[in-house]
Amino acid sequence: MAKTLISTHTASADTSIDITSGITSAYKSYEFHFVNLHPANDGVGLRFQVNAAGGDKGFDESMISTMFVATLNEDGSSGAVAYNAADQAVGTDYPLLNFNTGNDDDQSCSGVLTLFGPSSTTYVKHYTYTGVTSAEDDKVHNHFIAGYINVAAAIDEISFKFSGGNIDTGVIKMFGVG
């Protein structure tokens, strides 16, 4: 499974990071690697949206997602894995990839979003995310998200932002797979 690094995006107090080129039919799937995304605001969630080719470019495609989360407090208490209602049921908002990311100097979130077959003009577009969050209240979250973008048109743009405030620092790398 060869990976090709297509582009690297370094945050610097950005409201969002929008990737508007490079998502084409050249690769069957794409991976977005998030490395130490650090929010300006405390306790926010990383979110994403996409644009369909030829659409209104409003980052408002319909998505349906599931979310389950494993959590543990730093004191060793409250370890659990459970489904979380922060999923998205047929919404056009930016669905969450995680939540509660802390903004202490050493806190951030990291993970991988995989987008399957974005250039298909037949199928809805499936995606999965797995990542780790250093949470605002000194706990760890391990998020597992999956869903689909409910559009048959090709997807050619993607946007990432926190639920509040800027992406202060961090790196997003886009790889083509296959």
Partner 1 sequence: MPVIANMGKVNGIVISGAPAVSDAHVLISTPLDISVSDTAVSTVDVTLGIDSLYDVYEFHCIGIHPSGTSLPNFEFQVDTGTNTSYNQTITSTYFQAQSNYTADGAGNFAAVEYSTGEDQGQGTAFQKIAHGMGDENDDSASVILKLYAPSSTTYVKQFTSVSQMNHHNNSSYSGNTYCGGYINTTTALTRVRFKFSAGTIDAGTIKVYGLEKS
Q: Which of 108, 149, 151, 155 binds partner 1 (CB under 8 A)?
A: 108
CA 149, CA 30: separation in Å to the nearest integer? Answer: 14
Nearer of residues 63 and 135 to partner 1, judged by Cβ: 135
Which of the ranges 16-24, 109-117, 119-127, 149-157 carries the binding residues for partner 1, by CB under 8 A? 109-117
Q: Select from 13, 1, 57, 19 the least CA-distant residue to 172.
A: 19
User: At closest approach, how far in Å is the CB of 76 from partner 1?
Assistant: 3
CA distance 173 to 145: 19
Site string for partner 1, 111-130 (x = CB under 8 A): xx-----------------x
| Six-digit token string for 178 | 């296959």
- For the chain, what is the largest distance between any 2 Cα atoms, rounded to a whole number of angstroms? 51
CA separation for the pair 101, 54 (Å, rounded): 34
Q: Which residues bind partner 1 (CB under 8 A)?
A: 1-5, 8, 33, 35-36, 38, 70-77, 79-81, 105-112, 130-132, 134, 139-142, 144, 171, 173, 175
